[in-house]
Amino acid sequence: MKIVYLLLIVSLSIAPLYSKNFRKTEDIINDILNDKQTEKNTPAKKEAKEDKKGEEKNSLSMTLPDEVLFKTGAELYENRLYADAEKKFKEMLELFPQSKYRDSAGLMMGAIKVNEYKYDEAIAVFSEVKTGSGEYPAAQYRIAESYLFKGEPQKSVEFFRRVYSLYPDNDLADKALLNTGKIYINLKKGDLALEAIINLIKNYGSRKTLDDAFYNLGKIFESDPKLKDPEMARKIYKFFLRKAESGDPKFKNSPLKMRVESDLNYIEKKYFSMEN
């Protein structure tokens, strides 16, 4: 087994990649494939604090004008009438600059700019969402996406990292880790890709991204220039398919199943055709 396996260790806090105080990476992967890590340590999602004041108001209360403008804009957005939606959001922000819907509207306005391929403008809009806002993690995630679409993957990773390191219990944390892993795979930086993907598998085993994580784990060992190990890739792909055949809901209906089968077949023919 390649020596790099002896050096790599991943933790939830994204500890330094190389450490002498932890187990071999090969042991970590074997634990994962033996289902010892997949479901563990999933950060518990914090229960949203309900706004009792708002709920205590009876149905006779009048809807506030900023809410009307926001919901109208949101409906237009959902129907892909982006120009009209943006007008409504801008009207709301001009009339009610302190509206509680300000940041939600900002996310949609930024998404409109992304749809128009105006990535710098989108980043500027997303950046207006401040740290204390409940929409801040989503805004950081959208900034990361915008940089990725813009063709700046390293800058993108910077913002994805903010999401999963600062907000590990957020709904987007596992997706941020997955995207980080994919970026590093494309950049041929297998050690960093492996760090992100193992972190995802170990700490977000109940999330819907688990099948994608295992697929990309296999891709690292199938194709990375430094970590290439067809035997390990085959082992991971077979694990994926066993989970699918067993009826595991995270793998059974995965859109990646056919791709895994194809990649496994390719590996079998190329590297293991002489086995009895």
β-strand partners of 18: 8
Residue 262: Cβ within 10 Å count: 11
Looking at residue 273, what is its pLDDT? 85
How much is the pLDDT for 81?
97
pLDDT of the chain, 276 residues: tens digit per residue: 433 333 333 333 333 333 333 356 777 887 788 876 555 555 545 544 455 444 544 433 466 899 999 999 999 999 999 999 999 999 999 999 999 999 999 999 999 999 999 999 999 999 999 999 999 999 999 999 999 999 999 999 999 999 999 999 999 999 999 999 999 999 999 999 999 999 999 999 999 999 999 999 999 999 999 999 999 999 999 999 999 999 999 999 999 999 999 999 999 999 998 775
Sign of the CA dihedral 15, 21, 26, 29?
negative
**Which tokens sit at 123?**
């980043």
What's the pLDDT at 249?
94
Q: Residue 18, SS3?
A: strand
Count CA within 13 A, CB hemisphere, residue 233.
Answer: 24
- Measured CA to CA in angstroms, residue 157 lies from 110, 215, 216 at distances of 19, 20, 17
Closest to 90 measured CA to CA, from 68, 74, 105: 105
Contacts of residue 41, Cβ cutoff 8 Å, sequence gap at least 6: 12, 202, 203, 205
